[in-house]
Amino acid sequence: MKLIRIPFIALCAVFVLVYGSSFALAEEPAGKGKPESAAMQVGKVNINQSSAEEMAEMLQGIGPIRAEMIVEYRDKNGPFTSVDQLLEIQGIGAATLEKNRDRISL
């Protein structure tokens, strides 16, 4: 019996052509993946209920440290009654607030 040598790269190419589509990255089906908390539903983050991690993920220009400051402010002063109260937190200015206004709920 005669041994046939096929270059490794050719085998890889055949594998990708035959099996590539089943290994392709696909979007996750609706309802799968990371579950959203009630505080993050409908693309908004509820600053009275969300965790610092959720706020840092959803809000532009708000990192983990600033998000933790929002939680600390909320714990100390009670729930936010206005989105504009975020301006009382050091490091959050009018530009950051306006960038995120449509992403925030109370």
Q: What is the pLDDT of residue 26?
A: 45
pTM value > 0.85: no
2-14 confidence digits (pLDDT tens): 656 767 666 555 5
Segments in the chain below pLDDT 70: 1-4, 6, 8-42
Q: What is the pLDDT of residue 43?
A: 81
Q: Is 17 helix (H, G, I), strand (E, B) or coil?
A: helix
Q: What is the pLDDT of residue 82?
A: 96
Domains and CATH numbers, the chain: 38-105 (1.10.150.320)
Q: What is the pLDDT of residue 4?
A: 66
User: Cα angle at 96 between 91 and 101, to 5 degrees?
Assistant: 130
**Sign of the CA dihedral 47, 48, 52, 57?**
negative
